[in-house]
Amino acid sequence: MSHMHRIHWFDQRIREGKYPNSGHIAEQFEISRRQAQRDIEYMTSSLRAPLLYIARHRGYCYEDKTYVLPHLYMTEEEQKVLKYLAYRYRQYDYDNGETIQRIAHVLDRFTAGNEDDTSSRLPQFELNPRIIQNFEKLSQAIKDAAKVDLIYLDDEGGPQHARMYPLQFISRYNADYVVVYCELERQQLMLRLDRLLQVQVLKERFELDFAMDMDAVNRHYTPRRKPFVACVILANPHAEHSWYGYRIVAQHELEHEVEFYDTDAFLQHLLTTPWISLKSPKWLRQKLMVRCQQTIERLQNEE
C-alpha cells in the first residue's frame, strides 16, 4: 500500500474531527508504529502540513483549517518512473553523494511501498560525474550571466572549442541540452550535455541585447530526429527487415541501406558482424578506419 494512500486517509480523518495518530495509521494499514510516525513526519516536513498535536485527544488536527494536501495522485506508470529515478540516484557515489541519497529517499517515498526486487527489472548503468559537474557549472554560469569556454563534440565526433553564453537547459528526445549563444558564430545553439568535454566558467559577464529566440533554436538546431543511413554490402541477400536489429530501409541484391542512430554502437556492430564492404557514408568509413588502426597499434605495442 502506497504511503500516499495512508496520508490521504490520515488527512480525511483530521477533517472529520477524529484526531488520528500514528497508532491509528498502524492499526488501519497493518504497519509498524514507527513507519506510521514517519508518514506524519513526512506530512510536516515535505507537505508543509500545519499539524498540531492535541494532548487531551491524543491525536492531531490542522492548526490552519484552510490547508489542503497537494495533488499527489499518480498513475502506476508515473510511480514506475519515480522508482527508476530513485534507483538511479541510489547508484551515485561521487561528490555530494549524501545529498543525492536524500533525493533518492524522497523519490522512494512517492512510490509504492512494496519492496520488490527493483534491480532485476531496471536497466543497469554508470552515472557520469563529468556530466553532473558540467551541469552544476553551467547552472551557476546561467545564474550569474557569466561567459563560459566550452570544448564539445560536434555531429561528426570532432572536438570544438568556443566561447559561449549559456542561456537555459531543455530536454528533447530523451536527452538534455544547454541552449547557448556562440560568440564565434553569432547565433544560438543547442549542445547535448553528454557531448561537453570541458566547461570553464569565466569571470567575464555578458548582457544580451536581444531576446532569446527559442523559435530559431528549434528551427535550426533541433536534435537529430532522422537516423543515419549506411550502405553495406553483405555476403548474401538478407531476407529479413533488419540486420541484427538494425532496420533495412532499401535493398538491391547484396547492397543494403541500414538505418542507425548511435554512431558508437553501430561502429561496434560493424566490428563484430560479417559484411563485405561499407560503401557510405564516407565519415563513417573514416571513423571505422581510425578505430581499426588504433586497435592494430595497441596490438603492435604489446609485441
Q: What pLDDT score was predicted for residue 178?
A: 87
Give dist(CA 238, CA 248) in Å, integer: 9
pLDDT, one tens digit for every residue, the chain (303 residues): 467 788 889 999 999 999 999 999 999 988 999 989 988 998 888 888 899 999 999 999 999 888 887 765 555 666 666 666 666 666 555 555 666 666 666 666 655 444 444 444 444 444 567 777 788 788 888 888 889 999 998 877 788 888 889 988 886 655 678 889 887 777 888 888 888 998 888 888 887 654 355 455 444 444 445 678 999 999 887 777 778 778 888 888 899 999 887 788 888 889 888 899 999 999 999 999 998 888 888 888 766
235-248 b/e with 16+ CB inside 10 Å = b? eeebeeeebeebeb
Q: What pLDDT score was predicted for residue 277?
A: 93
In a 10 Å sphere around its CB, with 0-12 CB exposed, 13-18 middle and 19+ buried, how is residue 232 labelled? buried
Q: In terms of C-beta distances under 8 Å and separation of at least 24 residues, what long-range contacts does 186-190 make, across chains too?
A: 187/216, 187/220, 188/212, 188/213, 188/216, 188/217, 188/221, 189/164, 189/217, 189/221, 190/217, 190/221, 190/222, 190/223
Give dist(CA 197, CA 157) in Å, integer: 11
Q: Which fold has domain 129-220?
A: SH3 type barrels. (2.30.30)
The residues facing 177 across adjacent strands are: 170, 192
Say whether domain 3-62 belongs to CATH 1.10.10: yes
Evaluate the omega torsion of the peptide bond into residue 281 and state whether it is cis, within 30 degrees of 0.
Answer: yes
Q: What pLDDT score was predicted for residue 80?
A: 63
Do 299 and 253 form a contact (C-beta atoms < 8 A)? no
Q: What pLDDT score was predicted for residue 173?
A: 54
Is the model's pTM score more than 0.85?
A: no
Residues of the chain with CATH 1.10.10: 3-62
What is the residue whose three cell numbers read 554508470? 126
Q: What pLDDT score was predicted for residue 265?
A: 80
Q: What pLDDT score was predicted for residue 100?
A: 66
Indicate the SS3 state at residue 71: coil
How are beta strands 277-280 and 228-233 bridged, if at all? antiparallel
Backbone phi, psi, residue 70, to 5°: -60, 160
What angle do helix axes 33-45 and 3-15 make, rounded to 10 degrees? 80
Residues of the chain with CATH 2.30.30.520: 129-220
